Structure 1
Amino acid sequence: MKGATAAVAAGIAMVCAVAFLEAPGDRPVHPFPTVGVLMANGEHWCTASVVDSPKGNVVATAAHCVAPAGEDGVPGEVAHDGLAIGELSFAPAFSGEGSGSQPLGVWKVRSVHVDERWTKWGDDTADFAFLTIEPDEDGRSVQDAVGGKSEAPAPDWTSGYEREVTVIGYPESEHNPQNKPVSCTTQTRHDLDDPAMLYISCSGFWTGTSGSPWIADRGGTGQPGRLIGVLSGGDTDVDSTAALYDEKAKALYERAAKG
């Protein structure tokens, strides 16, 4: 539900397009290898990210990216934009014009886990989902492919509303023809319109960034931080909200982790 309306950038936080560097031997270094594009029928649909799990098989995104919102207890029939969601896959560290490159592979989504508060009532405070990812043909997990525990943030089920977070997302190609992630490190707070939701002000988070991870305590490689939620909505590219993870989010995660 991330809006695509242009707005004047707020000056209180930094947003940047992330470049892929070259290491010795021309091996690409991915600054956020756990974050990538969630694809529907092979097309950029949302953003998603690997979260630390016992089997290394869990990816986090927004509920509205993978399940229609319900209303008055009745499940919805189509996605938020009126389209069918399609077959889902995940491409971490995706970049490049057009179809781009998938340097860490394309991973099939085995199952989707969403709170019924979303699927029956469209409750924004439950706009989070966890996906179980199939291993590759060699039996390797997606978490191993992106760098293991040194890169994947652990989930935080008891976070407060005021945290410094790094948010990473993939805007759609209309605003991001190189398909590079944008990132912002800033302070969260209660959303004024809905105090139950987290809020940040960072420019550049256009349509396509729904599901972007909100990572607290990130310190780089070896200090992956704590995942406290994912980008849920926002009326402009500057204003973004997230549902704070809670015990019901934990139950979904544990279900996804069982595989």
Structure 2
Amino acid sequence: MSTVVKGASAAAAAGIAAVCAMAFMKAPGERPVLPFPTVGVLMAGGEHWCTASVVDSPKGNVVATAAHCVAPAGEDGQPGEVAHDGLAIGELSFAPAFSGEGDGTQPLGLWKVKAIHVDDRWSKWGEDTADFAFLTIEPDEDGRSVQEAVGGRAEAPRPEWTSGYERDVTVVGYPESEHNPENRPVSCTTQTRHDDDDPDMLYMSCAGFWTGTSGSPWIADRGGAEPAGHLIGVLSGGDTDVDSTAALFDERAKALYERAARD
């Protein structure tokens, strides 16, 4: 299936179904309560590029996103030369809980990407089923990890490598400012299934997942015995803002995650 990727410069068609734009709330005299502190904007050269999210890891230094957000797709065994939209990707950084018009605010800081880990199936062959990446994030100047900054293990979902296709998930992403001028995250809780055109991909139907939402986490079991839930994949593409697909994490995704966690 050739899908429309939802990185910051890809186009997507309009949708009709409802989607929830999550507001930032604040009790009097308290710091803001952030609805999805682990999810934020992946920036390239300081500009909104994709969505990314913190995933639980031993050092608290791993963020998940889509492979096409951080590495060109390969073809015929050779690495690609440019990103999906023909632009250079640029220096990457991560702003969890980003919001606000224009340059917005970064309530939990701006975190430098130290290393990128992408499967050869993507970087050499451009396989949609490997459109996931794990990023190693530098600690801040005080030595804190990004996972500490977003709330630790209570907030960051654990990765799951052997999920089935029919799951209840919460998906959270940041559409680009054209459709989301206040840069607030959108979310949807729904059930996934096999994609009709590519049964190896996960599919969901929820409106509002426009350009910029590539890399959005697909979190199962949120609010259950482990409230942060389990990360089973990240948003890869879709033909419209309503139709979205994700590459399901597998054993090779696990190997990438483990490399990112060791860096």
Establish whether TM, by shorter chain, passes 0.5: yes
Deviates more, 1:44-53 or 1:20-29: 20-29
Aligned partners of 1:233 and 1:242 also within 8 Å? yes
Decide which of 61, 64, 70 is 2:65's aligned counterpart.
61
1:18 equivalent to 2:22? Answer yes
What is the match of residue 126 of structure 1? Answer: 130
CA RMSD, aligned part only? 1.2
What is the SS of the residue equivalent to 1:23?
coil
1:27 and 1:221 map into 2 onto residues whose CA distance is: 27
Decide which of 84, 99, 102 is 1:98's aligned counterpart.
102
- Equivalent pairs counted in the alignment come to 256
Decide which of 15, 39, 45 is 2:49's aligned counterpart.
45
TM-score (norm 1): 0.97
1:221 and 1:95 map into 2 onto residues whose CA distance is: 30
Instruction: Find runs of 4+ consecutive structure 1 residues off by over 3 angstroms.
Output: none
TM-fit CA distance, 1:25: 1.4
1:4 equivalent to 2:17? Answer no
1:212-235 Cα offsets, whole Å, 9 max, x none, are 000000018961000000000001
What is the SS of the residue equivalent to 1:29?
coil
What is the match of residue 72 of structure 1? Answer: 76
Aligned partners of 1:151 and 1:222 also within 8 Å? no
2:178 and 2:133 map into 1 onto residues whose CA distance is: 26
Q: Percent identity among equivalent residues?
A: 83
What is the match of residue 138 of structure 1? Answer: 142
TM-score (norm 2): 0.95
Unpaired segments of 5 or more residues in structure 1?
Answer: none
1:155-188 Cα offsets, whole Å, 9 max, x none, are 0001000000000000000000000000000000
What is the match of residue 83 of structure 1? Answer: 87
What is the match of residue 248 of structure 2? Answer: 244
Deviates more, 1:214-223 or 1:60-69: 214-223
2:27 and 2:125 map into 1 onto residues whose CA distance is: 48
1:179 and 1:28 map into 2 onto residues whose CA distance is: 16
1:112 equivalent to 2:93? Answer no
Matched to 1:21, the amino acid is M
2:127 and 2:247 map into 1 onto residues whose CA distance is: 10
What is the SS of the residue equivalent to 1:152?
coil
1:162 and 1:152 map into 2 onto residues whose CA distance is: 22
2:224 and 2:35 map into 1 onto residues whose CA distance is: 8
What is the SS of the residue equivalent to 1:21?
coil
What is the match of residue 173 of structure 2? Answer: 169
2:225 and 2:149 map into 1 onto residues whose CA distance is: 15
